[in-house]
Amino acid sequence: MNERDSFSSKLGIIAAAAGSAIGLGNIWKFPYMAGENGGGAFIVVYLLATILIGYPLIYTEFAIGRNARSNALDAFSKVTKNKKFNIVGYLAVGTVFLVATFYAMIAGWVIYYFFLSLTGGLYDVQAGMNLPDHFTMVFDTMNTHVIWPLLGAIVAIASTGFINFSGIKDGVEKYSKILMPLLFVIFIVLIGYSTTLDGFKEAVTFLFKPDFSALTTRTVISAIGQAFFSLSLGMGLLATYGSYVPKSENIRTISRQVVIADTIIALFSGLLIFPAVFTYGGSPAAGPSLIFKALPQVFSQMPGGRWFGALFFLLVIVASVTSMISIFEIIITCLVEKMNFNRHKATLVVVAAVLVGTIINILGEGPWSSFTIGGMTIFGLLDYATNNITIPLTGALTAIVATWFWKYIKMEKELTSDGVYKSTAEGPFFFGLLKWVVPPMILVLILTSL
Ligand code: PHE
């Protein structure tokens, strides 16, 4: 594998990058984080973090990747010609591996819910039980019966590995181009239905009327971490995909489109889930189980809901798999280039390692759930530590490396097509922000929120 694979078209790059960005982070994580952190105020911080920090950092990481033309572990040191900065790559790839282990578990839950909705079993409510209690019971039962989440996770991991086997052009790019538009269409249909629910207005108020008195440093760092997680930032993905982007593409344009698509889908997910919470009851702060408890209430009431439910979970599976492909790809590219593995061997190693990590998470939610650290299960701890510590930290380090150790003009040339320098109004603004404001702010937030 001396000849590096590459994306074949602009559309393909956008589909793959958006496919990576749009995933459980938008549909599963964003609503529950917003719900736990009081709604509107969290969303305002999230949007600011996305536009002011996420966007410039995306194109920065992308540019680093394209310039380095290497795996994420080496990209930062290659660009700056300073071996020390390997640390950023190792932090990023270490984080993404931890993310993979719980990501696959959640994807497994979704697969289980897909089948349960398809067969109708999800909606067999015992006489006398109210809907929130019923769906809480279904969720808890799933976790105690390790076998269902395990089978779900195996399906998720195996199908992802299958696509990675085929490489960038014929795997990642081909499938993303088909699956991402489909996701958009299904979303529109379901939101149309949500607008007819009684709780729709209350949901809109909850999501868009900020109560800033609820803001703490913890909320702020959570929102930043969530913005990065959702954009696949600070985990080596953009560095990796950037290394497969042809020189002719303008990285700023691509980054802008990814940010827009990702943000729309996150807000859509909020609009899909909260009307259900406010119409049928249940807590917006239910945590990671939110979409599994809230949405099925809608499906159980709407005509043909069982099929819509199945369609919805299918959509989430699609979104998760296009993200998991990208997560696997980061590590695969590292193994291929650092260890000289061929793509097939690298894929198998990643599949096996992620499976082991996932099983630990699954047990942690089931039989080992009384084992907690700081009140958190294994998955809770990984989710918290990556979201609030390592992801923002890698983002801050990326900003530092790019703005202090890589020349402005070199970065600007890497951002445009074919290395032609074009001056832009936003260039110096964001560069200044990433150089002077973002790193100290993130470091202070991480420390004070601990
Ligand atoms: N951004 C993806 C999501 O929102 C998750 C992801 C993380 C993808 C890291 C790639 C790398 O679900």
Alpha carbon distance 327, 96 (integer Å): 7
Read off the pLDDT band of 1 (50, 70, 90): very low
Dump the DSSP string for 362-386: HHHHTTTTT--BTTB-HHHHHHHHI
Q: Looking up tokens 């950037």, which residue turns up?
A: 242
Closest CA to 43 of 191, 201, 223, 231: 223
Read off the pLDDT band of 165 (50, 70, 90): confident
Alpha carbon distance 160, 100 (integer Å): 12
CA of 323 to the centre of ligand 1 (A): 5
Is there a contact between 15 and 21 (Cβ–Cβ < 8 Å)? no
3-state secondary structure of 235: coil
> In 25-58, which positions are buried (b, 16+ CB within 10 angstroms) versus exposed (e)?
bbbbbbbbbbbbbbbbbbbebbbebbebbbbbbb
For a mutational test of ligand 1's pocket, the pick from 265, 323, 325, i.e. the residue with the most ligand atoms closer than 8 A to its C-beta, is: 323
Alpha carbon distance 171, 193 (integer Å): 34
Mean pLDDT across the chain, nearest whole number? 93
Read off the pLDDT band of 110 (50, 70, 90): very high
Tell me what the mean pLDDT of segment 16-34 comes to.
Answer: 95
Alpha carbon distance 386, 28 (integer Å): 16
From the CA of 319, give the closest atom in ligand 1. 12
Tell me what the mean pLDDT of segment 181-192 comes to.
Answer: 84
To the nearest 10 degrees (0 to 180), the angle between helices 72-80 and 305-339 is 50
Determine the distance from the C-alpha atom of residue 437 to the mean position of all C-alpha atoms in its chain, rounded to a whole number.
Answer: 25
Determine the distance from the C-alpha atom of residue 324 to the mean position of all C-alpha atoms in its chain, rounded to a whole number.
Answer: 9
pTM for the whole structure = 0.95
- Residue 449: count of CB within 10 angstroms of its CB: 17
Is there a contact between 171 and 165 (Cβ–Cβ < 8 Å)? yes
Tell me which of 91-95, 223-227, 295-299 is least confident.
Answer: 295-299
Tell me what the mean pLDDT of segment 171-196 comes to.
Answer: 80
Determine the distance from the C-alpha atom of residue 392 to the mean position of all C-alpha atoms in its chain, rounded to a whole number.
Answer: 14
Structure tokens at 365: 């939610």
Residues 6+ apart with CB under 8 A from 214: 37, 38, 41, 42
Nearest CA to ligand 1 atom 11: 232
To 10 degrees, the CA torsion angle through 349, 355, 356, 359? 180
The tens digit of pLDDT for each residue in 368-398 reads: 999 999 999 999 999 999 999 999 999 999 9
Helices (H), 49-85: 55-68, 72-80
3-state secondary structure of 120: coil
Residues 6+ apart with CB under 8 A from 398: 57, 60, 61, 64, 76, 88, 234
Angle, CA 20 vertex, CA 267 and CA 444 arms, to 5°: 70
Alpha carbon distance 229, 233 (integer Å): 6
Helices (H), 120-216: 131-144, 147-165, 167, 174-194, 200-208
Alpha carbon distance 176, 260 (integer Å): 17
CA of 99 to the centre of ligand 1 (A): 8
Alpha carbon distance 214, 113 (integer Å): 33
Residues with CB under 6 Å of ligand 1 are 20-21, 23-26, 96, 99, 229-230, 232, 235, 237, 323, 326-327
From the CA of 323, give the closest atom in ligand 1. 8
Q: Using alpha carbons only, how large is the chain's radius of gyration in Å?
A: 21
CA of 145 to the centre of ligand 1 (A): 27
Alpha carbon distance 257, 197 (integer Å): 31
pLDDT at 64: 97
For a mutational test of ligand 1's pocket, the pick from 176, 183, 232, 329, i.e. the residue with the most ligand atoms closer than 8 A to its C-beta, is: 232
Read off the pLDDT band of 2 (50, 70, 90): very low
Tell me what the mean pLDDT of segment 196-223 comes to.
Answer: 94
Read off the pLDDT band of 156 (50, 70, 90): very high
Residue type, 288: P
**11 pLDDT above the threshold of 90:** no
Closest CA to 81 of 94, 56, 58, 64: 64
